[in-house]
Structure 1
Amino acid sequence: MSRRAFRYSPGRSLVTGASSGIGAEFARALAARGSDLVLVARREDRLSALAEELESAYDVRCRTVPWDLSESASGRRLREIVPERIDLVVNNAGFAVQGPFADGDADDFERLVAVDIRAVVDICSAFLPDMIARGEGTIVNVASTTAFQPVPTLAVYAAAKAFVLSFSQSLWFESEQHGVRVLALNPGPTHTEFFDVIGDSATATGTYQTPADVVATAMMALDSKRSRPHVVSGRRNSLQAAMVGIVPARVLLPALARMLH
């Protein structure tokens, strides 16, 4: 007998960073399961094109919300725009700044923290209480395999994803007793626009997957009877994430720095 208790099919899902990559693939996978969608990203033209694609292909309703998550109080303001019931929130939006920290731009670091940390916290704060009140709902926070170790030249990004992983695990424990699931999804290097921005040199850990691979990992976890606080996408990525915890930092960090140079 299969261990899967059900095929996860939320009634309405909100996906941030939905205009491309993992976010767009989440939208396609959820639409294929019959979920209506609220698509959030900065690029309105791409959101509109994706919404038309999904409504035509899967007969679902899609709402687009062009939004810059670096703005303050993003979650609270999104909740005002989207007051209806949301069964699944996918916090996928994020970006990285690569290079020696001392050479970086403070404004870029501020925006990274705003999108990768503050917006995740704010959106969870805005949508989680309603889920707990009704005793059901799901939040998926997209972290990264960089969450499992410091990464020279990606110092702020790796630290931000470590925050997302830790934060999500705490919420998993707090929420599970109320019937709500919180999952941290940890992709490794993935074929998306992310690496068009920061370059391929930031692939020292893990092997490339497709957005479909990453989303399939998340959906398999959500289909499972077992509630898990986090999942790593890809067998090799999982092994590497487990191994870095036993390698001393004085050995790990110079090795990572050489690979990322």
Structure 2
Amino acid sequence: MTTALITGATAGIGAAFARRLARDGHNLVLVARDTERLERQAAELHDHHGVEAAVLSADLATEEGIAACEERLADRRHPVEMLVNNAGFGLKGSFPDVPIADELRMLRVHCEAVLRMTTAAVGPMRSRGRGGIVNVASVAAFVPRGTYGASKAWVVQFSQGAARDLAGSGVRIMALCPGFVRTEFHQRAGMGTSDIPGWMWLDADRVVDAGLRDLARGKSLSVPDPRYKALLGATKLVPRGVLGGVSSRAGRKYGPKRDS
């Protein structure tokens, strides 16, 4: 069996990746901060799918958390053939109202952790001549949205550049850019979502299915819904300032978000 490592694995898109990859027969390394929840999730996936699911409790906003994941990814005795960099969060408010410490923590999780973990995974993957890496970004990467959008734009640019550099190596890298995804987060945080049109909501399992199809096709960018593809096409015709204003209002209402 092959092994997949997933960050932010206990909820939302990360949990959907865990379910799908377990169903496909992959052993798993599940990464998040909540050890108790990780262990419960690992037991459920093992019982339902018969795969081995290891738990790695790590906070990717810390040096120790990132280093622990790097060490696991670099272990050539127990290779990881699939890496899903999914951990991430949003911040309530707009610049400069958000504390700089929170902004820096976001950059560490969204950018530094993705860079370092992708680097740790690529070495062993290249030596075996195969492997896949999915870096979860967002459609916010394509509109002005403060540090969140900027960090996701970095994920997209980094992933596409790395995919080009690794062409022909057998290692595939892709940025996954969903829009609003229905998860438990909004209900747990008590956030109102009534102003978001129903058509903008996506199902996490369908997002994952579409993303894995695009990865298998060799794409370096996946926008997993035709409605969002059309919306992004329209961004070329709409002034970026207008898009940024809409995005910022959504961020103030629907942040903060943390899934790491």
Normalising by the residue count of structure 1, what TM-score does the alignment of the two structures yield?
Answer: 0.86
Corresponding residue pairs, total: 247
Please name the residue that 1:183 is paired with. 174
Name the structure 2 match of 1:143: 137
Checking the alignment, whether the CA contact within 8 Å between 2:144 and 2:241 is kept in structure 1 is no
Matched with 2:59 is 68
Return the structure number with greater relative CO, CA threshold 8 A, min gap 6.
Answer: 2
Task: For residue 6 of structure 2, give the secondary structure of its aligned residue in structure 1.
Answer: strand
Q: Distance in 1 between matches of 2:190 and 2:150?
A: 16
Could you tell which deviates more after superposition, 130-139 or 78-87? 78-87
Q: Does 1:164 align with 2:158?
A: no
Choose the corresponding residue for 2:47, options 47, 52, 56: 56
- How many angstroms apart in 2 are the aligned matches of 1:248 and 1:94? 28
Q: State the match for 1:247 in structure 2.
A: 238
For 1:240 and 1:132, the matched residues in 2 are separated by 36
Q: Name the structure 2 match of 1:6.
A: none
Within-5 A mapping of 1:75-90: 75-81=66-72, 83=75, 84-90=78-84
Query: Aligned letter for 1:248?
Result: P
**Paired residue for 2:19, among 11, 17, 28?**
28
- The aligned amino acid for 2:232 is A
- Structure 1 258/125 Cα, relative in aligned 2: closer, same or farther at 3 Å? closer
Identical columns (%): 35
Instruction: Name the residue aligned to 1:95.
Output: 89
Question: Any stretches of 5+ residues in structure 2 without a counterpart?
Answer: 254-260
Does structure 2 retain, via aligned residues, the 8 Å contact 1:149–1:245?
no
- Aligned equivalent of 2:124: 130
Q: Cα offset for 1:133?
A: 1.8
Look up the equivalent residue of 1:126 and give its one-letter code: A
Give, as a single letter, the amino acid of the residue that structure 2 aligns with 1:43.
D
Amino acid at match of 2:34: R
- CA distance in 1 between counterparts of 2:55 and 2:207 reads 23
Deviation digits for residues 71-128 of structure 1 (CA, Å, limit 9, x no counterpart): 1264443232452200000000000112121211112111111111111011011111
CA distance in 2: counterparts of 1:74 and 1:234, whole angstroms: 33
Q: CA RMSD in A?
A: 2.3
Question: Aligned with 2:71: secondary structure?
Answer: helix
Partner amino acid for 2:52? Answer: R
The one-character-per-residue Cα deviations of 1:119-153 (angstroms, maximum 9, x if unpaired) are 101101111111112211000000001011112xx
Aligned letter for 1:121?
Answer: L
What SS class does the counterpart of residue 181 from structure 2 fall into? coil
In 2: Cα distance, 1:102 partner to 1:199 partner: 22
Aligned-partner residue type, residue 169 of structure 1: Q
Partner of 2:226: 235
Secondary structure of the structure 2 residue equivalent to 1:209 = strand
- Structure 1 unaligned residues grouped into runs of 5+: 1-9
Residue deviations 1:158-188 (CA, integer Å, cap 9, x gap): 1110110111100111112211100111110
